[in-house]
A = this chain, B = another copy of it.
Amino acid sequence: MSRPPFTPTIASLPKLVPFVGPEALERARGRPFSARLGANESIFGSSPKAVAAMREAAAENWKYSDPENFELRSAIADHHGVAIENVVVGEGIDGLLGLTCTMFLTPGAHVVTTDGAYPTFNFHVRAHGGVLDLVPMHDMREDVPRLIESAKALSARMLYVSNPNNPMGSWWPAEAMTQFIGALAPETLLILDEAYVETAPEGTAPPIDISNPQVVHYRTFSKAYGLAGARIGYAIGESSVIEAFDKVRNHYGINRVGQIGALAAIRDQAYLRDAVGAIAAARERIAAIASANGLSPLPSAANFVAIDCGRDAAFAEHVLKALLDRDVFVRKPIAKGIDHCIRVSCGRDEDLDVFAKALPAAIEDARRLS
């Protein structure tokens, strides 16, 4: 029996996984990590009100969730001062990025992004046959002027910008972003990934202009809200763009417990402020630990800190491996120009204690091996 043929796009794709999860690493190692500081989760957790609502919802999980996500979208719309028609909820930003590709990309379409920015976006673009054009970072920040130029030159269908950027934590102020948005070519959709914007300085998020069909803002409950496991992201944009998601999305794709948890979380802005404060304090402490060990922490607007290990990529890779060996789960950038760094997610004091204890020996290992 022969296999029915895959589409040409799928047949031509290599086997590719965006990120190996910590669980897979733990299975390979045969033991758990002591500190989970690699996936930019919020170890501070979600609002206790969200936890209570999710516990309560467990017994009712025989029900499908509301496929319109009406209450959650209403709360999100209120929070951002837009209408419910400007909001779509998806299975994390990841899910929404995939749908956006389905809506706008045909095989061969050009897509511009930053070399070393979000791999899952690139994964979805490739699965849709899109052609990726990668612009290097400039000073470890997304080179937005050059991204805009490159998108213009290629008549790109999509331009991906994350603000703040992952994995560097760097960011642009709102005024600069607004100026860039005005410079977009008319055929290009700007995918503005703001997954980390809640932890950024005031004045980082550009105003959301729901009259502009060229910009879609992507937000998530996975980071500052502390609900990565819930898989709830949302996109905000002009209503005809948002409405088109309904033509392609999995209408019953949102899990009921997560839907209920996210609703409770967005209603508890006091908790969010506390969490953002704890994240800011953890950033300071990660920076202090790095500095105390002779490494250079980068300024960060996100819930992690990129640390320049001061030598080449091979050295940073050795530091990373030595940390993993010491049961500290962290990750590192792999693109040229930023691959001399490691990336450490914010955590509680006890998590950072583990990191602080492991780092000196990890650096020593790396020095010996380099």
Contact = CB atoms under 8 A, between A and B. Distances in A.
Interface of A: 1-8, 10, 13, 15-19, 21, 23-24, 27, 36, 39, 41-46, 51, 54-55, 57-68, 70, 91-92, 94-95, 98, 102-106, 120, 123, 127, 157-158, 186-189, 211-214, 222, 226-231, 238, 240-241, 243-244, 246-248, 250-258, 261
Nearest to A13: B247
Nearest to A189: B4
Contacts of A241: 3
State the 10 A-B residue pairs at the shortest beta-carbon distance, nearest first. Answer: A229-B256, A3-B213, A54-B58, A23-B66, A61-B229, A255-B255, A4-B189, A62-B226, A55-B58, A21-B67
A168 to B, nearest CB: 21
A120 to B, nearest CB: 8
A355 to B, nearest CB: 18
A121 to B, nearest CB: 12
Contacts of A229: 57, 60-65, 255-257
14 contacts: A1-B212, A3-B214, A4-B187, A6-B104, A10-B104, A23-B66, A27-B70, A39-B64, A45-B62, A54-B257, A127-B248, A231-B252, A231-B255, A255-B255
B68 A58 contact: no
Q: Is the interface of A mostly helix, strand, loop or mixed?
A: loop
A327 to B, nearest CB: 16
Contact of A246 (B15, B46, B95): B15
Nearest to A2: B186
Contact of A98 (B18, B250, B254): B250
A193 B222 CA distance: 32
Contact of A251 (B19, B42, B188, B228): B19
A59 B52 CA distance: 8
B240 A3 contact: yes
